Amino acid sequence: MKRLLLTITLIAVFASAGSAQDFGFKKKDIFLEASIQTSVVRDKSTLDRTASFNFVPKVGTFLSDHFAVGLAAGFGNGNTEGRPRTIAEDRQKLKTFDVGTFGRYYFLEIGSRLKPYTELAVGYHLIRQEQWQQSKILSEYRMKGVLAKAGIGANFFLDKGIALNFLYPNFLSYHTFSTVHNGDNSTRSSSSEFKTNFNVFNNFLRSAQFGVILIL
């Protein structure tokens, strides 16, 4: 939390040093947004290396000066492999896909350019995980279900029509999943989970999605 407050304070100081133009949203504004999240993690004990990438495009419209609704999609992949490579070539691959709706409420103004918001999203979630060895798939899991999540973020306006965006998307989350192993429906199982993730503030770069928002 301290890191988040420090980040917001620094941006606010920078914003106040700029011009005093009026930046923000208004009713009936339409926006396009694209956020990206990447990470590379190396385990020093096992030498494993895990890389992940997520891309989230959104389109929305403002029903009032502070409240917006819209549609969102998400595409992600991850890859875990041992270092140094062994003859076995053990590897895990992960692919994700999301599609759904979201609502966003802008609740505060910090300076003239920084606009914090909260966001609630609900949608369909698909995960495919593969275990590889010697260039062959040993096992495969497919998970699909409904995912609801709440996040907190902010836009920093560079100009009246463009802003930077950062979002912690999984501050709170709930999902229900149906899982199938190796395409065999007899292995189907169901699960649900509610999660709070207050530790997102401890690692700003790994937890947040960064992107750009364009106002049409």
Question: Is 71 in contact with 59 (CB distance < 8 Å)?
Answer: yes
Q: Is residue 216 part of a domain?
A: no
Which pLDDT score is estimated for 207? 65
The number of beta carbons lying within 10 Å of the beta carbon of residue 53 is: 14
Q: Is residue 74 part of a domain?
A: yes
Q: Is residue 174 part of a domain?
A: yes
Which pLDDT score is estimated for 115? 94
3-state secondary structure of 43: coil
Which pLDDT score is estimated for 99? 97
Give Cβ neighbours of residue 119 (< 8 Å, ≥ 6 apart): 102, 103, 104, 105, 150, 151, 152, 153, 167, 169
- Residue 185: CATH number of its domain: 2.40.160.20
Identify which of 134, 141, 124, 127 has the alpha carbon closest to the alpha carbon of residue 73: 124
Q: How many domains does the chain have?
A: 1
Alpha carbon 38 to its chain centroid, in Å, reads 10
The number of beta carbons lying within 10 Å of the beta carbon of residue 108 is: 12
Domain hosting residue 158, numbered range: 2-211
Give the Cα separation of 148 and 121 in Å (integer).
6
Identify which of 213, 207, 146, 203 has the alpha carbon closest to the alpha carbon of residue 171: 207
Q: Is residue 28 part of a domain?
A: yes
> Model confidence over 9-50: pLDDT tens digits?
555 555 454 445 678 899 999 999 999 888 887 777 766 778
Question: 């053990």: which residue's tokens?
Answer: 90
To the question of pTM greater than 0.95 for the whole model, the response is: no
Which pLDDT score is estimated for 198? 65
Which pLDDT score is estimated for 118? 96
